[in-house]
């Protein structure tokens, strides 16, 4: 699953109407609603402040608002962009300053979706998951096999040290724990030393693990 690690803003201009998307992380419906009200106060002079948010790892709460625009031309299209991006715990407000020309339903949908897409480009997006921290050590004869398995399964590496034995600190995604353990034991004929920690949530950003 993906989350907004750091929010951002984007803007599109359509027939002199400005569409300003502001995106932030939100971990509860109350937090999302508070942010929406903040944007409405900030852009009090705008014609519309349309919104959408998704809360929960399993998208338990999804809400959207057209804020006076024709039904299904703003909030729902904005929500679809968030859904398609696979992001949760996120809220977006698109502020519209009317430029004097009516855009029609198709034009509104394109403009609101385009603003959200521009906003997402300026956010820092991270992957969120559950995993088991693992400290492992192998001798140099097995190093190539272990590194191959790590690359093949795309296991995040937190640290790697070359001492008498090669020591790894890994974050093994929960769904891969069993298969990874079986593969490395087989590859090293049981010669790998492993110390597992309890399952924890983690964030993966730019290849780096944040617990």
Per residue in 48-93, pLDDT (tens digit) is 999 999 999 889 999 999 999 999 999 999 999 999 999 999 999 9
Name the pLDDT band for 180 (thresholds 50, 70, 90): very high
Q: Answer whether 199's CB lies under 8 Å from 174's CB.
A: yes
The confidence score (pLDDT) of residue 103 equals 93
Where b means 16+ CB within 10 Å and e means fewer, 54-89 reads bbeeeeeeebbbbbebeeebbbbbbbbbbeebebbb
- Asked if 113 and 133 sit in the same domain, the reply is no
Output 155-161 pairs: Cβ under 8 A, ≥24 positions apart: 155/180, 156/131, 156/202, 156/204, 156/207, 156/209, 158/133, 158/209
Give bridge partners of residue 150 from the DSSP assignment: none
Residue 211 predicted with pLDDT over 80: no
Q: What percentage of the chain has pLDDT greater than the value 70? A: 100
Residue 26: pLDDT over 80? yes
pLDDT at 145: 95
Name the average pLDDT for the chain: 95
CATH of the domain at 155: 3.30.70.240
Provide the b/e sequence for 138-148 (b: ≥16 CB within 10 Å): beeebbebbee
Q: Judge if 117 and 144 occupy the same domain.
A: no
pLDDT of residue 207: 79
**In this predicted structure, what is the pLDDT of residue 52?**
98
- Shared domain check, 52 and 17: yes
Domain end position, chosen among 71, 103, 122: 122
For residues 28 and 61, membership in a common domain is answered with yes
Q: In the β-sheet with 61-65, what is the strand arrangement from edge to edge?
A: 8-14, 17-25, 90-97, 48-55, 61-65
Domain finish residue from 89, 107, 122: 122
Q: Say if residues 25 and 7 touch (Cβ distance below 8 Å).
A: yes
Whether residue 39 sits in one domain with residue 136 = no
Band of pLDDT at residue 206, cut at 50, 70 and 90: confident
Residue 89 is predicted with a pLDDT of: 96
Q: What is the pLDDT of residue 48?
A: 97
210: pLDDT strictly greater than 90: no
Q: Which residues, in sequence order, are bridge partners of residue 166?
A: 138, 162
Q: Supply the CATH number for residue 108's domain.
A: 3.30.230.30
Same domain? For 83 and 160 the reply is no
Query: How many domains in the chain?
Result: 2
Q: What is the pLDDT of residue 191?
A: 92
Report how far residue 163's alpha carbon sits from residue 137's, in angstroms, rounded to the nearest whole number: 10
Assign 140 a pLDDT band (cuts: 50, 70, 90). Answer: very high
Domain termination residue (choose one: 122, 140, 163): 122
Element (H, E) at 83: helix 75-84
Task: Give the three-class secondary structure for 53.
Answer: strand
pLDDT of residue 208: 85
Asked whether residue 20 falls in the same domain as residue 42, the answer is yes
Residue 134 lies in domain: 129-210
Please give the distance of CA 9 from its chain centroid, rounded to a whole number. Answer: 16
């Amino acid at each position: 699953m993906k989350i907004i690690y750091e929010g951002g803003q984007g803007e599109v201009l359509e027939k002199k109407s400005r569409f300003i998307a502001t995106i932030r992380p939100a971990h509860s419906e109350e937090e999302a609603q508070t942010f929406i009200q903040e944007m409405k106060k900030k852009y009090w002079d705008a014609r519309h402040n349309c919104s959408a948010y998704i809360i929960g790892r399993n998208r338990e709460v999804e809400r959207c608002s057209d804020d006076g625009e024709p039904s299904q031309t703003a909030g729902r299209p904005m929500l679809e962009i968030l859904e398609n991006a696979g992001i949760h715990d996120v809220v977006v407000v698109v502020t519209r300053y009317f430029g004097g020309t009516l855009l029609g339903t198709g034009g509104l949908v394109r403009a609101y979706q385009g603003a959200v897409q521009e906003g997402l480009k300026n956010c820092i997006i991270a992957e969120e998951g559950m995993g088991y921290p693992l400290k492992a050590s192998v001798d140099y004869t097995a190093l190539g096999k272990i590194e191959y398995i790590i690359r093949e399964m795309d296991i995040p590496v937190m640290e790697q040290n070359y001492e008498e034995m090669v020591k790894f600190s890994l974050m093994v995604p929960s769904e891969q724990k069993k298969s990874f353990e079986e593969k490395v034991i087989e590859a090293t004929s049981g010669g790998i030393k492993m110390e597992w920690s309890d399952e924890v949530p983690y964030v993966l950003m730019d290849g780096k693990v944040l617990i």
